[in-house]
Amino acid sequence: MSKRIGVALGGGGVRGLAHVLALEAIDAEGIRPTAVAGTSMGAIIGALYAAGHSGAAINAGIRRHLVSRSDGLKEVLAKRSDLLKWLRLVSIETGRGGLLRPDGFLAYLLDEIGVSTFEELKIPLRVVATDFWTGEQVVFGSGDLLTAVKASMAIPGVFAPVVKDGRVLVDGGVVNNVPYDTLADVCEQTVAVDVSPVRRPRDQELPNAVDALVGMFDILADRVTALKMAANPPTLYLRPPIERVQPLEFEKIERVFAQAAPCMPGFRADLARMLAEA
């Protein structure tokens, strides 16, 4: 009898688009997850997947909005309507709490998902956010999907916090960037995909203000994940070697895919071994 398998997708901004390659590998091995959990971009990709979109379908949707170096004029013109949608995804937030407002981005993604509540999803989903004032983890698994995802990706200082049920909520990566442990009660095996960056020293190179802010957030999330894994690791852990890509550098989508792709054959082999040992 096969075991119940959960898939957890970590936060990391544009680096989280590497999750679609991992989901393609999971699909290729014939795995149908019992449940999915996600933080920040992992929550967005997780919601698409839980709604019934395959890894390949999500990948194709992303590439419709991507102009690659190999695209000629014909390909660019064919993608024109989708590219115009891309330009409207994020707008400047002039109010208190953040620099960017993700409403357009999320509204577009939820339209792609095709559902508005957790209850409509084909696979149970858990989305992680953080209570700003108490520092507690907040796990959503029911109700309005947009509110949960928006809270999960509210990077402090970048996206405005979300207020729900009297709580001020920010990015879940502050307390649980790779939330495989939230599936322990419903899954016997967990597959965790961590898209935290590989950090390498650069001689005498000082980060700018935004890079410093986001970099400190990455360091914090990485340390929290390391402590959690030391105490209770997932069944299978994947961390693609992504470097020199900041969370909001969406112009580097091709680099994310190129850096993550080489480790996917090994990931598929690990998935096959996990299934064989179940």
Please state, in angstroms and rounded to a whole number, the distance separating the CA atoms of residues 229 and 233. Answer: 4
2 is an active site residue: no
Q: Which of 171, 181, 194, 218 does the annotation list as catalytic?
A: 171
Q: Please choose, from the candidates 48, 92, 38, 41, the residue with its C-alpha nearest in 3D space to the C-alpha of residue 197.
A: 41
What distance separates the 2 farthest-apart alpha carbons in the chain? 56
How far is C-alpha 30 from the chain's CA centre? Answer: 22
Question: Helical H runs in 29-141?
Answer: 41-50, 55-63, 73-78, 80-87, 103-113
Across 154-244, the runs of DSSP E, i.e. the strands, are: 162-164, 167-171, 189-193, 236-238
* 3-state per-residue secondary structure call for 42-55: HHHHHHHHHCCCCH
Q: Which of 40, 181, 194, 218 does the annotation list as catalytic?
A: 40
Please state, in angstroms and rounded to a whole number, the distance separating the CA atoms of residues 128 and 140. Answer: 6
54 is an active site residue: no
Q: Which residues are catalytic?
A: 40, 171
